[in-house]
Amino acid sequence: MHFNDMEMKVRNLFFTIIAAMLGLIGVSQGKSVLITLAEEKYVVSSLILIFISMIPITLLFYFIDRFWYHRLLVGAVKKCIEIENAHKTLLPEISLGEAISRESPVGFPMWTRWLFFFVREKRFRQSGQLHSDGKIELLYKSVITVAVLLALTFGWFGGVTPQPRPKVNCVLAALLEKIEPTCQRNK
C-alpha cells in the first residue's frame, strides 16, 4: 500500500468518526449529564461533552497523519527528487517529485492569515503559500477550533448550570452522619 493511500485512509476514518459525532449531536439534543466537580454538581448539556470529546480524537488523528504517515510521504518525495536530480541528464523527462513539490503549495492572499490563525506553518505565515504541512494543520486545527468555540458558546448560553444543593434538616443530617449538629434549626 502506498503512503498516500494510507494517509487518505486515516483521513477517511477521521471524517467518518466526525460524521458519526455530528449524528450523535442530532440524537442527543436536549439531553444532559450530571457531573460532580469538587463536591459541586453541574448539569452539562450532552452537546458540550460531544464537542469536547472531538478535541482529543482530532488531536490523535492529527498526530497520526502529520507526524507518522505524512513524514513517510515527504521522505518518498524527497528521495524521488534526489533520484531525479542524479539522472536528469540521462532522462530529462522524469520529474515527478519536482512536479509534486512545485504544484503542492496553494496561494492565499496575505489578509487570510488572520482567518487561519491556527496554522503555524512558517511558509504560510511568511508568504501565504499553504504547503502540505500547513494543509494538514488547516484540516485538523479547524475542527478543533470549531469544537472549542461551540463548546464555549453552548456552555456560556446555559449548557452548564449548577445544580442547587437540596435543603436538608441539619439535625437529620447530623444524625445520619453521626456527628454533632452545628447548624441552626430550619424555621
User: Is 170 part of any domain?
Assistant: yes
User: Is 114 part of any domain?
Assistant: no
Whole-number Å distance between alpha carbons of 127 and 19: 34
66: containing domain: 3-105+131-177
What pLDDT, on the 0 to 100 scale, is given for residue 161? 86
User: Is-above-0.75 flag for pTM?
Assistant: yes
Three-state secondary structure call for residue 140: helix
Q: What is the pLDDT of residues 55-96, one digit of tens each?
A: 999 999 999 999 988 888 888 888 988 998 899 888 878 888
Extract the C-alpha cell encoding 117: 490563525
Extract the C-alpha cell encoding 78: 524527497
Calculate the average pLDDT of the chain. 86
User: Is 77 part of any domain?
Assistant: yes
Whole-number Å distance between alpha carbons of 113 and 122: 11
User: Is 100 part of any domain?
Assistant: yes
User: Is 56 part of any domain?
Assistant: yes
- Specify the number of domains making up the chain: 1
Whole-number Å distance between alpha carbons of 50 and 151: 8
User: Is 182 part of any domain?
Assistant: no
Least confident stretch, 63-67, 160-164, 182-186: 182-186
Contact partners, residue 138, CB within 8 Å, separation at least 6:
116, 119, 130
Do 160 and 42 meet the contact criterion of CB atoms below 8 Å apart? yes
User: Is 184 part of any domain?
Assistant: no
User: Is 185 part of any domain?
Assistant: no
Three-state secondary structure call for residue 139: helix
Report how far apart, in Å, the C-alpha atoms of 141 and of each of 35, 60, 107, 117, 149 are: 28, 12, 19, 10, 12
What is the amino acid identity at position 180? Answer: E
Count of residues for the chain?
A: 187
